[in-house]
Copies of this chain bind each other. A is one copy, B any other.
């Protein structure tokens, strides 16, 4: 008898964990991703800010599964999902599935103003990160040659929209890059005069945390010289400027970390989506009316068994990936026992909140776990330890540890290299 075919879409945290948890299951698995690598997204901002090299936070998906015989890896782009025919069509091929686990994640979202993407890129892929690194380092080079003080100031200004973890971490990293890492490298400009402006629409940064942590974060960022502007809404974005309700910010470097939206492929499934385009799932993570299709990770809108809205964080994605594998294995066990399919007895997902954290700069971070709050050096050490622990691959752990150690003792960063040709917008945000 042919073994059931499980197709996993996306090699992010959810997809990888789902495949791994099916390693001993009597199924054939095909994992499809348009990149050849799993990306450790929590450290993407360090590639953007020249602290790490791109390969250090990425791991080939094939290499993760080279010893797991029931997994086939396909590098291709998903185009069409047909729930009636049970097929997935990619750019190059078509696949038939028995179970489908969708973990395609989210991309940068502009709340309907997609034209802003051209001027303020997001930070979701390695190409995004190297593009930001290129732009920021080139802006300093141009500033060094510029004689007009107004233009020089604009070139040395970076504005980041979005005061969530990505925005906070980027702001801290850029401030340190300008004030410490690049210090002494230029002759005509003083890089410590570079401006970093962090814009957030809500009244405080890191809204998912306790107010005390938000306050600590703001103070810490301000002590790094960052101009933090809360309760400021962006009304327009153009070539080298952000229009706020209160005025205009002139900045050559604009980064958008304010919103995400699900891959448009979700629209083909005929099920209810949330405003971000996410698939609203049942508590077993299947789609309503499609017990053999699951959504997991950031692309899923899930209220878990306990009534908690599951956040878009790595640990949540990993737990959801494992849960989908468990549901599939349970189903197969029942079908072997000739038991009737009964989707009501499927295990229900319950999110286990281990906490969350964000780093602000050298030796400073905020963390919140099990009702406890941490700030400062202790939180930073926790952040370091946990991020190293979850990096895929022994080599990457050692390489990143080395870079961090070097950056800490020498205030240097190893990836201050301008590479690549400017990508046109369509190619970097597919």
Contact = CB atoms under 8 A, between A and B. Distances in A.
Interface of A: 35-37, 53-56, 58, 60, 62-63, 66-67, 72-76, 92-93, 126-127, 130, 137, 141, 144-145, 182, 184-187, 393-396, 398-399, 402-403, 406, 410, 412, 414-421, 423-424, 427-428
A37 B419 CA distance: 9
Contacts of A414: 55-56, 393, 395-396, 399
B36 A141 contact: yes
A128 B406 CA distance: 28
A258 to B, nearest CB: 25
A335 B105 CA distance: 69
Give how many copies assemble into the complex: 2
Q: Is the interface of A mostly helix, strand, loop or mixed?
A: mixed
Contact of A141 (B75, B145, B403): B75
Given A36-B418, A130-B419, A137-B36, A66 B185 contact: yes
Contacts of A398: 402, 406
B92 A417 contact: no
A57 B186 CA distance: 22
A66 B417 contact: no
A412 B395 contact: yes
Contact of A417 (B54, B144, B145): B54
Given A53-B56, A55-B415, A423-B421, A145 B185 contact: no
13 contacts: A36-B137, A37-B417, A55-B417, A62-B182, A75-B418, A92-B145, A393-B414, A394-B406, A395-B410, A395-B412, A399-B402, A420-B423, A421-B424
A414 B396 CA distance: 8
Contacts of A55: 53, 414-417
B416 A63 contact: yes
B416 A60 contact: yes
Given A36-B137, A36-B417, A67-B184, 16 more contacts: A36-B141, A53-B54, A54-B417, A55-B415, A60-B417, A62-B186, A63-B416, A66-B184, A66-B185, A92-B145, A126-B419, A127-B420, A396-B414, A420-B423, A421-B424, A421-B428
A96 B29 CA distance: 66
The 5 A-B residue pairs with the shortest CB-CB distance in the complex, in nearest-first order: A62-B185, A53-B53, A55-B415, A66-B184, A421-B427
Given A62-B185, A184-B66, A398-B402, A93 B145 contact: yes
Contacts of A35: 418
Counting chain B CB atoms within 10 Å of each CB, the highest count among A60, A395, A412, A423 belongs to A60
A251 to B, nearest CB: 21
A62, A127, A393, A419: most-surrounded residue (chain B CB, <10 A): A419
Contacts of A427: 421
A357 to B, nearest CB: 26
Nearest to A93: B145
A93 B142 CA distance: 11
